[in-house]
Amino acid sequence: MKQNNKLNYVLGLLRLSMGFIFFWAFIDKLFGLGFATTPEKAWFTGGSPTAGFLQFGVHGPFAEFFQGLSGIPLVDWLFMLGLLFVGVSLVLGIFMKLGGYTGILMLILMYTAAGLSPENNPFLDDHIIYIFVILSLMLINSGEYLGLGKWWGNTLLVQKYKFLK
């Protein structure tokens, strides 16, 4: 049983870490903290959080499609709301199904936009690994470890609408 508790803490830390990756991307793109987004390109100051990647970072068979999405405000809003929702749901351990599926969809789209070919490995890249991590975290109810998932799962709302778990 003691080994299981250790594993639960590790899974909770893994969930928190994945959530922080998404949440940090949201914060950096919102305020332009100088990591992936410079201050002059911050969404808060009128920049587009998707323009740089969609203009210059897409490759492969779907490049033209993704480049056509660059600069569209709805795309920016959906991307930023997705980052925020996935980040918050994973950090708090609530809405794990919706947040997880949203994160997986975003990662599939990013992988597809990057040309379906990993840069440093002929088979895998971080997007695919993150998909497996999020899927695992969803399947094992990791929101219950170092998160609010157990409390959230017992609320009347989630008891009535299981897809909100």
pLDDT, one tens digit per residue, over 10-49 is: 999 999 999 999 999 999 999 999 998 999 999 999 999 9
When divided into structural domains, the chain yields a total of 1
Under 8 Å between Cβ of 25 and 77:
no
Under 8 Å between Cβ of 125 and 111:
yes
Kindly write down the DSSP assignment for every residue of 111-154, as one continuous string: HHHTTSS-SS-SS--HHHHHHHHHHHHHHTTGGGSSSSHHHHHT
Q: What is the mean pLDDT of residues 57-67?
A: 92
pLDDT at 115: 83
Give residue for tokens 């949201």: 26
How far is residue 125's CA from residue 102's CA, in Å, rounded to a whole number?
A: 19
Q: Which residue has the higher pLDDT, 5 or 136?
A: 136
Q: What angle do CA 31, 32, 33 make, to 5 degrees?
A: 95
**Cα–Cα nearest to 52, from 29, 74, 31, 33:** 29
Q: Range of 123's domain?
A: 2-164
pLDDT at 32: 94
pLDDT at 152: 96
105-163 pLDDT, tens per residue?
999 999 999 887 777 787 788 999 999 999 999 999 999 999 999 999 999 999 999 99
pLDDT at 49: 94
How far is residue 83's CA from residue 89's CA, in Å, rounded to a whole number?
A: 10
Residue 56 carries which DSSP code? I
Task: Report the 10 Å Cβ neighbour count for 99.
Answer: 26
Residues 6+ positions from 83 with CB-CB distance below 8 Å: 22, 23, 25, 26, 29, 106
**Cα–Cα nearest to 31, from 49, 17, 18, 16:** 49
Q: What angle do CA 142, 147, 149 make, to 5 degrees?
A: 65
